[in-house]
Amino acid sequence: MIVQNLDRPTKDQPRLPGDLIIWVFIVGELTTFAVLFLVYAFARARNVALFNESQLTLDLTSGAINTVLLITGSWLVVKAVHAVKDDQARKGAYWLMSGMACGFAFLGVKWLEYGDKSAAGLDISTNTFYTFYFSLTFFHFMHVIVGLVFLGVVLPKTWRREYGKNNHNTLESSAAYWHMVDLLWIVLFPLIYVMR
Amino acid sequence: MYSTMNSTANRVWVILIIATATTYWVGESGMTNNNGTRAVWAMFGLAFVKGFLIIYDYMELRHAPTKWKLGIISWLVFVISLILFAYWLGQRHN
């Protein structure tokens, strides 16, 4: 007797994790951020000296810590999804909470960074670089919050073991969005904090 | 199967952390100052590797239909290529 595991993707049976609608949403978000990244990059090309000088005031360490937090948050959510697929939903809920803790820590570090800039008299109207810095990073900041909301929605159901080996589409959709937030930061960090 | 997936996720996490530490080091060392073109290219090369791993192993598009997999990877290639093009333009005109 041949037993087929329907959940396991095979070479002949590719599978898009989560719901199709979340991927349409993700493509929209990636397109929006692509436009913003490129507008920043080409604006910088027209005024390299101003952008380089202003960039020196950014805290590279905060940016790197936030990168580590998002990467680790993504990794923990991957472990949550794997645990649920292995019918260990309660374990998955703990991983999910750990991933969310990384997201909240990211928001905390970013908030402190904004506080430092504000104390130094820097804001969105200081110059073109800061207009981009505050707009891009705050737009991303809002996406981290949306990602946390998505994870927060699936957390109680994961805790109550409503997701499992044969029912984890919504969890995968939330996880995909969360990883997208990480992917965006992977481009944003070198672009705004490091490229000179 | 899931223990294998977990160990892949763990390995990817280590690579991502090492790549982030390298990017941080490049920034802190000032290698990108004074037209450090090679350092900037290397840094975005690392960003591509990081993005690729997130797309393939964390977003789990490794086993997705080709159009989705290629579509999201193309986004990464497109964005990084144009950022590097804009960087090159900036060096040329300043």
pTM: 0.92
- What was the pLDDT predicted at A3? 44
Q: How is A65-118 classified by DSSP, letter by letter? A: HHHHHHHHHHHHHHHHHHHHHTT-HHHHHHHHHHHHHHHHHHHHHHHHHHHHHH
Q: Is B44 on the interface with A (CB under 8 A)?
A: yes
- What was the pLDDT predicted at A61? 95
A4, pLDDT greater than 60: no
Q: Flag the least confident range among B4-8, B13-17, B84-88.
A: B4-8
**What is the nearest CA distance from B74 to chain A, expressed in angstroms?**
11
Query: In this complex, how many residue pairs, one in chain A and one in chain B, have their CB atoms less than 8 Å apart?
Result: 144
CA dihedral of residues A153, A154, A157, A160 (deg, nearest 10):
-110
A64, pLDDT greater than 80: yes
Q: What percent of chain A has pLDDT over 70?
A: 94
Contact A113, A62 (CB under 8 A): yes
Q: Which of A68, A82, A183 sits opposite B17 (nearest CB)?
A: A68
Q: Which of B75, B87, B89 sits opposite A34 (nearest CB)?
A: B75
- What was the pLDDT predicted at A8? 54
Residues of chain A contacting residue B65, judged by C-beta atoms under 8 Å apart: 14-16
